C-alpha cells in the first residue's frame, strides 16, 4: 500500500509540475504578446503624432507666409503713400528693399 501511495503522490506531483510548467509558459507567451502589441501601439501613436506635427507645422508655415506677405504689402503701401506726398520717386525694387529693411526681414 505504501508504494502505491508513494507512486500516486509522485504521479500527482509530476502532473502538477507539468501543468505548472505549461501555465508558466502560457503566461510568458501572453506577456510577450502583450509587449509586442504595446510596442506596435506606441509606434503607431508616435507615427500619428509625427504626422500631426508635420501637418501643424505646414499650416503654421503657410500662415506665417501669409502674415509676412501682408506685412510687406502694408509696408510697401506705406512707403508708396509717403513718396506720393513728398513727390519723390523710387523704383519698385528700391521700395521693396526699404520694406524688407523696415520690417527686419532678410531676402
pLDDT of residue 34: 95
**89 class by beta-carbon count within 10 Å (0-12 exposed, 13-18 middle, 19+ buried):** exposed
Give the pLDDT confidence of 20-59 residue by residue, as tens digits: 888 888 999 999 999 999 999 999 999 999 999 998 898 8
Residue 15 — very low, low, confident or very high, per pLDDT cuts 50/70/90? Answer: confident
State pTM to two decimals: 0.51
Is the pLDDT at 5 greater than 80, yes or no?
A: no
pLDDT of residue 92: 86
Each as own residue / partner, the long-range contacts of residues 98-107 (CB below 8 Å, 24 or more positions apart, any chain) are: 99/72, 99/75, 100/72, 102/75, 103/71, 103/72, 103/75, 105/68, 105/72
Amino acid at each position: 500500500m505504501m508504494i502505491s501511495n508513494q507512486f500516486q503522490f509522485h504521479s500527482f506531483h509530476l502532473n502538477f509540475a507539468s501543468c505548472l510548467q505549461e501555465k508558466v509558459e502560457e503566461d510568458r507567451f501572453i506577456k510577450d504578446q502583450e509587449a509586442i502589441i504595446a510596442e506596435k501601439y506606441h509606434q503607431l501613436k508616435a507615427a500619428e503624432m509625427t504626422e500631426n506635427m508635420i501637418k501643424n507645422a505646414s499650416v503654421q508655415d503657410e500662415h506665417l507666409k501669409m502674415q509676412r506677405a501682408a506685412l510687406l504689402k502694408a509696408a510697401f503701401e506705406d512707403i508708396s503713400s509717403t513718396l506720393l506726398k513728398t513727390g519723390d520717386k523710387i523704383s519698385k525694387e528700391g521700395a521693396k528693399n526699404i520694406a524688407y529693411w523696415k520690417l527686419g526681414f532678410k531676402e
